Amino acid sequence: MSGGGDELKLLSTWFSPFGSRVKLALHLKGLSYEYVEEDLMNKSQLLLESNPVHKKVPVLFHKGKVLCESMIIVNYLEEAFPDAGPSLLPSDPYERAIAQFWAAFIETKVILSTSYRPAECVCVYIYIYIF
């Protein structure tokens, strides 16, 4: 599997809000990384092997390990690179929990509810209309 050294490697797409979250975290921490643009219409073998459950971006490689899901990656970057750049999350456990709550809320209620899945919306509309 690729990404075996200490370097960071990110698989993502330019339009993914979740990939953008990871890119922003990497930039705020001042971490250099290799960026690999994925074509989601023709997913690479690396993506399929790295994230076999969801087969989605973002995927981060570090020290031969693979991480998926943007908030998990952000938490990892915070813990793996505590001295790099500013802290991404509050140090107080309560404040950190509140920040994670709002991140999850925005992810599920705003981003995913207005997701770029027009075909699924049409299918749901047709199902409701017919039945």
Q: What is the pLDDT of residues 56-71, one digit of tens each?
A: 899 999 999 999 988 8
119 Rama class: left (phi>0) / alpha (psi -120 to 50) / beta? alpha
Instruction: Calculate what percentage of the chain has a pLDDT beyond 70.
Output: 79
Answer yes or no: is pLDDT of 117 > 60.
no
Answer yes or no: is pLDDT of 115 > 70.
no
Mean pLDDT of 32-56: 90
Q: What is the pLDDT of residue 51?
A: 87
SS3 (DSSP) at 129:
helix
Q: What is the mean pLDDT of the chain?
A: 81
pTM assigned to the model: 0.76
Residues 6+ apart with CB under 8 A from 46: 1, 2, 11, 36
